Amino acid sequence: MHEYGDFPGAGDAEESEPVGGDEPRTTFPRSGAVGDMLFAYGTLQFAPVLEALLGRVPRSRLGVARGRRVAALPGRAYPGLVPAAGRIAAGLLLEGLTRAEWEILDRFEDAEYDLRPIRLVLPPDGDEPGGTDVVPAYVWTAATTGADWRPEAFARANLADYAQRCEHWRASGMPSDGW
């Protein structure tokens, strides 16, 4: 497990949950050295998307972020992680990401995401003990809908097309203006 200060640029913030209604302002530099783990709560939880973007599926384990929700975004198939008192956001802790993979993910993620440290609760997983860890996550900074994003609905209605679009984006040189 990593301690908060293990991440370059992590600053002094300790909590990922909103404090006094304010979202922490500390962010990781995008494409910076933030370690090899990422909390994935949306489309990056799906093996076909990871395979299309990274050419592999990193090892992962379950994680939960308290004080957050996975919000549906207006007109988009993918979600955003936002503060939400009393809520939890479930996802996967992706492990073993390389610098090159971070660069791909940074190019892929919209400008409305900030890469920020969040505290995860990790259940025991095989030989891995449970506990908490602070890891980076792409946190949404723009408007959301009032609805939660549903991974099952995404998988049923959008996953195949979305993974294909990811493959095309990567094959076309990963343009920064999206697909």
Rounded CA-CA distance 27/10 in Å is 7
Residue type, 11: G
CA 38 from centroid of its chain's CA atoms: 6
Nearest in space to 37 (alpha carbons), one of 118, 152, 154: 118
Catalytic site residue 109?
Answer: yes
CB atoms inside a 10 Å sphere around CB 156: 10
Pairing of strands 60-72, 113-122: antiparallel
Which of the residues 14, 15, 95, 109 is marked catalytic? 109
Q: Which residues are catalytic?
A: 109
